[in-house]
Amino acid sequence: MATAPAPLSLSASTLPARLRAGAVPAGARWRQQPRRGRMVVRAKIREIFMPALSSTMTEGKIVSWSAGEGDRVSKGDAVVVVESDKADMDVETFHDGIVAAVLVQAGESAPVGAPIALLAESEEEVPLAVAKAQELSNGNGQPQQAPPAPTEDAAAAPPPPPPAPAAAPAPVAAGTKGIASPHAKKLAKQHRVDLAKVTGTGPYGRITPADIEAAAGIQPKPKPAPAAAAPPPVAAPSVGAVPQAAVLPPVPGATIVPFTTMQAAVSKNMVESLAVPAFRVGYPIVTDKLDALYEKVKPKGVTMTVLLAKATAMALVQHPVVNASCRDGKSFTYNSNINIAVAVAIDGGLITPVLQDADKLDIYLLSQNWKDLVKKARAKQLQPNEYSSGTFTLSNLGMFGVDRFDAILPPGQGAIMAVGASKPTVVADKDGFFSVKSKMLVNVTADHRIVYGADLAAFLQTFAKIIEDPESLTL
């Protein structure tokens, strides 16, 4: 009585040399089919990839590995902590298995989508996973050899004349005689030059006007060369000037500290903001009644930041264009929600936790939400929707005694408001009587493609009325 052959499991040590050389992919298991007698390869090794933790993230840094090599993990277990451009986040595995090989160690970075570890389904596949890790490490060296090819092209691109004559003469004379540009043909006719006897030095052996002039014994004009060299500096105006300005010679005795992932993201966003046509409008606001309200609600955990965010949201309800944004350069994007992002300085960077639906929540619930957001921000544990969903940004330096400053417009938003300190100021009323009142200055930076001066002025007037009569903030 014939029996079906038992499944055959091959480890790296029992595979034939021919298969170990690369005929079988690492992490594969052979199973013999009873009917046809063929071997079927089933992969049992999976890659853990660097995830995209935010829409602006291009690479991530490994903070620490929660699971080490040899540890068995289950689906949903956190295996690694990754530092994105905004926060540190736990990354979970989608499969059960054993962490067979760590490809990116703690403290190292990898681009989004790159493998950072290998997960084996069973102990039998661990040696194969280690072999695959070695192959990947060897493979990482090959792409690094690929860039020299484009580098040579890039190096050859700026001075096209030198490489062309070096490679062109031999093949050109054989099969491209007589191929000339229209201008070259015209010059050849004028100077009675036989095109069949001219060796072209242009692309693919094309005969250029310079070749005709050389064959006719005409000395090249000195002026065209500078004219050809002049356009490159003119053609690269301000676009290339920004990156070049960042590359400066080192200062003797200085210490160079690379940007963290968050600092690099902030730098990138600030440079992108330079492309937006922004303008600024300032407005003085009396804060006596707001200060009195703050003293009443402060014992209940309400901060001045929350009061300002609530007042801003209430004003934006009446001026939706200031809550809008321009994302494609040719249209308005009106946001259905009013989410106030508030700039917070943290160790090693800056982040903007978002008070979502600030116009719909009371100041007490907003204060609780704000407390939780700040705690997460300090621990770098904010989720992407908690820092990337803002529609308007608030930056407050009043607690440091700063009386006024300008804020840089965040990418993807229409406006940002900079709030200064409230200070005693001598004020004259309409009857000419003087008094001392507390005043603060706010400056709003806005995208002039969608927000105009009158729009911003009207918004600031509404905001000032709410601040100067803040009872509506407690409703």
CATH number at residue 196: 4.10.320.10
Cα distance between residue 416 and residue 408, in whole Å: 7
* Cβ atoms 58, 69 nearer than 8 A: no
Number of domains the chain contains: 3
Domain termination residue (choose one: 136, 154, 171): 136
Please report whether residue 305 resides in a domain.
Answer: yes
Same domain, 299 and 356: yes
Please report whether residue 166 resides in a domain.
Answer: no
* Cβ atoms 337, 370 nearer than 8 A: no
Same domain, 191 and 105: no
Closest listed residue to residue 338, CA positions, set 322, 350, 353: 322
CATH of residue 430: 3.30.559.10
Please report whether residue 233 resides in a domain.
Answer: no
Question: 448 an active-site residue?
Answer: yes
Q: Which CB contacts under 8 angstroms, 24+ apart, belong to 395-403?
A: 395/342, 395/343, 395/419, 396/304, 396/305, 396/308, 396/342, 396/343, 397/421, 398/304, 398/422, 398/440, 399/304, 403/441
Same domain, 195 and 99: no
Res 42: pLDDT: 53
Res 23: pLDDT: 40
Same domain, 330 and 403: yes
For residue 385, give the H/E element and its range: none
Please report whether residue 438 resides in a domain.
Answer: yes
Q: What is the largest CA-CA distance in the chain?
A: 116
Cα distance between residue 419 and residue 315, in whole Å: 15
Same domain, 208 and 336: no
Please report whether residue 192 resides in a domain.
Answer: yes
Same domain, 67 and 124: yes
> What b/e sequence results for 283-305 when a residue is b if at least 16 CB atoms lie within 10 Å of its CB, and e otherwise?
bebbbeebeebbeebeeeebbbb
3-state secondary structure of 208: coil
Same domain, 67 and 210: no
Cα distance between residue 391 and residue 340, in whole Å: 6
Cα distance between residue 437 and residue 188, in whole Å: 87
Res 89: pLDDT: 80
> What b/e sequence results for 409-444 when a residue is b if at least 16 CB atoms lie within 10 Å of its CB, and e otherwise?
bbbbbbbbbbbbbbeeeeeeeeeeeeeeebbbbbbb
Same domain, 110 and 200: no
Res 137: pLDDT: 74
Same domain, 463 and 318: yes
Domain with 67 in it: 45-136
CA gyration radius for the chain?
Answer: 33
Domain termination residue (choose one: 113, 136, 159): 136
Please report whether residue 177 resides in a domain.
Answer: no
Catalytic residue among 95, 183, 191, 448: 448
Low-confidence ranges of the chain (pLDDT < 50): 1-41, 141-177, 223-231, 233-244
Q: DSSP for 250-280? A: PPTT----PPPHHHHHHHHHHHHHTTS-EEE
- 262: region left, alpha or beta (phi > 0 left; psi from -120 to 50 alpha): alpha
Residues 6+ apart with CB under 8 A from 414: 321, 322, 323, 324, 325, 326, 391, 392, 446, 447, 450, 451
Can you say how many angstroms the Cα of residue 2 is from the centroid of all Cα atoms in its chain? 63
Res 238: pLDDT: 43
Domain termination residue (choose one: 191, 216, 241): 216
Please report whether residue 10 resides in a domain.
Answer: no
Cα distance between residue 91 and residue 83, in whole Å: 10
| Tokens, residue 283 | 């407005």
Same domain, 283 and 349: yes
- pLDDT tens-digit series, residues 306-364: 999 999 999 999 999 999 999 888 899 999 999 999 999 888 788 899 999 999 999 99
Please report whether residue 161 resides in a domain.
Answer: no
Same domain, 320 and 188: no
Same domain, 319 and 415: yes
